Amino acid sequence: MNEKPLRTVKSFVRREGRLTPGQQKALDDIWPKFSLTNDDEPIDFEQLFGRNAPVVFEIGFGNGASLAEMAKNQPGNNYLGVEVHRPGVGQLLNLIENHQLTNLRVECTDAVELLKQRIPDNSLDRVQLYFPDPWHKKRHHKRRIIQPTFVALLAKKIKQGGYLHMATDWQHYAEQMLDDLSNSAYFTNCADNDDYIPRPEYRPLTKFEQRGQKLGHGVWDLLFIRQ
């Protein structure tokens, strides 16, 4: 009897939510101009953006406000944001059009599969993972996106001298991230004390963080360089 292949554990659940008319219009009208082509070929970033520039890859951009602000403030970088929830994608597309951003592309898919299948090795200058689902119950920790196998995948995709920047407001997840990255032979911690860094100026302070700060919640930023 043939055994069934093991199911891949996903780090997200699709909670679609309701699309506003503006978000739906953005998906209909703006999406074709700023999304990836629907093929299985490796992405040629120079062709995608029409120029050769550092590539920043963000996993799970939420409503896109922070990513759009970064693209606006750092026009010398090319940005590719990946998000599974279509309302957030539609929101970011509207921001791209409103700010006339030319250095930002969007994809609505599983970022892990995109990395495996279409992102060339040694092609990314920075990977950003901000406030991923912490899956705080112990039995759900296996769903966290940061795991040793995923760290190994990122090591293949990030250029030597490139960066992995993570942020979370769950201390236990921050400790796990720190442990998993510190145990990787491919990454070195950029923090002075080999732990956490202050929020870099290039990462905007989100409304989510501002609310948390008022409630006394902490945020942990981690920055590692690819060796």
Which pLDDT tens digit goes with each residue over 128-142? 999 999 978 888 689
Q: With a cut of 70, which residues of the chain have pLDDT below it? A: 1-16, 140
Q: Is 97 exposed, middle or buried, given 0-12, 13-18 or 19+ CB atoms closer than 10 A?
A: middle
Domains defined for the chain, CATH in brackets: 23-226 (3.40.50.150)
Angle at 88 between CA 33 and CA 212, to 5 degrees: 140
Q: How far apart are CA 218 and CA 87, in angstroms?
A: 28
For residue 6, the model assigns a pLDDT of 35
Which residues are CB-neighbours of 165 under 8 A, at least 6 positions away? 126, 127, 128, 129, 130, 200, 203, 221, 222, 223
The model's pTM: 0.90
d(CA 49, CA 80): 10
**Residue 182: what residue type?**
S
Which pLDDT value is given to residue 215?
85
133 labelled catalytic: yes
Are the C-beta atoms of residues 128 and 111 closer than 8 Å to each other? no
Sheet of strand 104-107, all strands in order from the earlier edge strand to the far edge: 104-107, 78-82, 55-59, 124-130, 158-168, 220-226, 187-189
CA distance 165 to 104: 18
Residue 193 CA from chain centroid, whole number: 25
| Three-state DSSP class for residue 104 | strand
Annotated catalytic residue, options 121, 125, 133, 195? 133
Q: What is the pLDDT of residues 46-61, one digit of tens each?
A: 999 999 999 999 999 9
Give me Rg for the CA atoms of the chain: 17
